Homo-oligomer: A and B are copies of this chain.
Amino acid sequence: MMPVKVTFLGTAAGIPTPERGLPAVLLDFDGEHLLLDCGEGTQRTMLQLGFGLCRRMRIFITHLHGDHVFGMPGMIQTMNLLNRAHPLEVYGPPGLKDFLERSTFSMMSEPVFPIKVHEVQQGMVLSCKGYKVEAAWADHAVPNLAYRFEFGGSAGRFRPSKAEALGIPEGPLRSELKDGRSVQLPNGSVVNPADVLSEPVSGIAVVYTGDTRRCKGVLELAKEADLLIHEATFGSDLVDYAAQQGHSTAADAAEAAKDAHVKKLIMTHISARYSDSGTLLREAKAIFADADVATDLAHYTLKS
């Protein structure tokens, strides 16, 4: 399958710094841009990196705090100036539609190409050719959705010749096996899905949290993911403040990665007070070894 390229466009928390822009992560898969949050300045960083704004694109917004959404009006204006023709699909929590209407009211920024806004909730958000997206409520000061992206991957394909050889009659028993459930044949023998299906193809799963305390919703969403992108606004010096503000520490992010048995953790949404993120990284690595702190423009390529 095609690889997934993950690029951190902005890795700051609410206040940008010279090194960290406001939050945005780009997943690049099979010629389509999936943009996770859209902080102020995102359009310029995309243009700097050569990610065109007229390509197929979906935006997934975690929540409606300004630092996660204020890049959208300007990006839409630029898309207008570039004569974007492709529709733009935007997903996010309730209130997204109202935000977009208010903020693009200004002259020249009302979209002149089709823009489809999907206000979504916990559950399956999207299933299309090549990938599917699921959301879960995280735990922040305002409604915040975490997203799981599953690229490629498929259950094993049904092999009629194998079913024939095992004497499985056409009909409901075969359907059960195709759906991944074991069945008992009339002669009493048990057939498992693996007996009649080809090897399943594993995909690539990426989970992105937006802002959140460590919480059960994210833990379940992130189970066995290849990559968990978890906010880590603070270090152990501000445990209480993190909880009070609805944020995670580096240790919280690492605990989530460990409990969800993910392969890799990348922390982002780093408070401006940590000009050196070394402490955050050490605190996370003490709990979960394969941890990184994201830096702006860093990119990772995920292959299945």
Contact = CB atoms under 8 A, between A and B. Distances in A.
A103 B74 CA distance: 12
Interface of A is mostly: loop
A219 B39 CA distance: 39
Contact of A43 (B40, B47, B81): B40
Given A15-B81, A17-B47, A41-B44, A70 B73 contact: yes
Contacts of A200: none
Given A14-B81, A73-B70, A21 B40 contact: no
A78 interface: yes
Given A40-B43, A103-B102, A66 B17 contact: no
Nearest to A12: B44
A78 B109 contact: no
A77 interface: yes
Given A15-B81, A81-B15, A102-B102, A40 B71 contact: yes
Interface in A73-97: 73-74, 77-78, 81-82
Contacts of A166: none
A254 interface: no
B102 A40 contact: no
A18 B74 CA distance: 16
Interface string A92-128: 0000000100111111110000000000000000000
A64 interface: yes
How many protomers of this protein does the assembly include?
2
B106 A65 contact: yes
Of the four ranges (under 10, 10 to 19, 20 to 34, 35 or more), the interface on chain A belongs to 35 or more
18 contacts: A14-B108, A15-B47, A15-B78, A15-B81, A15-B82, A17-B47, A21-B44, A22-B74, A39-B74, A40-B74, A65-B108, A66-B73, A66-B108, A67-B74, A67-B77, A67-B108, A70-B77, A99-B106
Contacts of A71: 40
Contact of A18 (B14, B22, B47, B65): B47
Contacts of A235: none
A43 B47 CA distance: 19
A203 interface: no
A234 B141 CA distance: 47
Nearest to A16: B44
Contacts of A78: 14-16
A47 B19 CA distance: 11
A48 interface: yes
Given A16-B47, A18-B47, A65-B109, 16 more contacts: A15-B47, A17-B47, A18-B44, A22-B74, A40-B41, A40-B44, A40-B74, A64-B106, A64-B107, A65-B108, A66-B74, A67-B74, A67-B77, A70-B70, A70-B74, A99-B105
Contacts of A64: 106-107
A71 B69 CA distance: 12
Given A40-B41, A71-B40, A73-B70, A65 B15 contact: no
